[in-house]
Amino acid sequence: MFFRLPEVVSAWKDQVAQVSEKASKSLADPEGYPNPFPNFEPAEKEEEEEADEVDAKPVPAPEGMGQDDDDDVDVLEQEIDKLKVRREERLVELL
């Protein structure tokens, strides 16, 4: 989440400025002052590369998705039925 650091620093500066303008100005931003943050740029690049790798990998579809064997199946209706069964099971347990 290094890419969000400048955004966070900016918000932090705004909050600190309400208490002390001088303290707010003393907070360093890695984009404006990279020298105090020698590892920021390499870490940011690494994060971008990892994100690119994740985006490049195909995400497998859930099991059974895309199968047209039973077009009449209503998934929502199945889930409602499951909830009804669970509720009935709980009622039986309470009795």
Indicate the length of the chain as a whole number.
Answer: 95
Quote the pLDDT of residue 76.
Answer: 81
Q: Please state which of the ranges 2-6, 29-33, 57-61, 66-70 shows the lowest mean pLDDT.
A: 66-70
Residue 6 falls inside a structural domain: yes
Quote the pLDDT of residue 15.
Answer: 92
Average pLDDT on 16-39 reads 82
Residue 31 falls inside a structural domain: yes
Residue 36 falls inside a structural domain: yes
Average pLDDT on 31-36 reads 75
Residue 71 falls inside a structural domain: no
pLDDT at 82 over 60: yes
Give 44's pLDDT tier (boundaries 50, 70, 90).
low
